[in-house]
Amino acid sequence: MLRVTVNDPASGTSEIEVGEDTPLMYALRDSGMPVEGTCGGYASCGTCHVYISPEWMEKLTPREDVEVEMLDLLDTYDPARSRLSCQIVMKPEWDGLEVELAPQT
């Protein structure tokens, strides 16, 4: 299992475990975090928006156009650190990833 540190501004920081090849969105939701994932992981709703710690952003796979288009519609989009957690499929090299839950608008 891979570790992810999650900062939820409403409840503080916690650590969750995520299986390899598992989309981060499912691990967040299954851990009781307030992440809806309404579209089921198709990058079409923005309800799994997270901020990636700057030191991790370049280590992740780049955002695809469909993800950027969805993020751009969100009021809380930060081009330097926003990602949809449904598009982050966990890999061993991302063990220790640090994310913050973005406000839902």
Whichever domain contains 33, its CATH number is 3.10.20.30
pLDDT band at 104 (very low <50, low <70, confident <90, very high): confident
**C-beta of residue 51 within 8 angstroms of C-beta of residue 102:** yes
What is the C-alpha to C-alpha distance for residues 103 and 20, in angstroms, rounded to an integer?
27
The domain of 69 spans 2-101
pLDDT band at 12 (very low <50, low <70, confident <90, very high): very high
Average pLDDT, stretch 26-46? 93
- Angle of CA points 38, 42, 47, to nearest 5°: 35
Report residue 80 as tokens: 């330097």
Q: What pLDDT sits at residue 52?
A: 98
Q: How many domains does the chain have?
A: 1
pLDDT band at 105 (very low <50, low <70, confident <90, very high): low
What is the C-alpha to C-alpha distance for residues 21 and 50, in angstroms, rounded to an integer?
18
Average pLDDT, stretch 56-71? 96
Q: pTM of this prediction?
A: 0.94
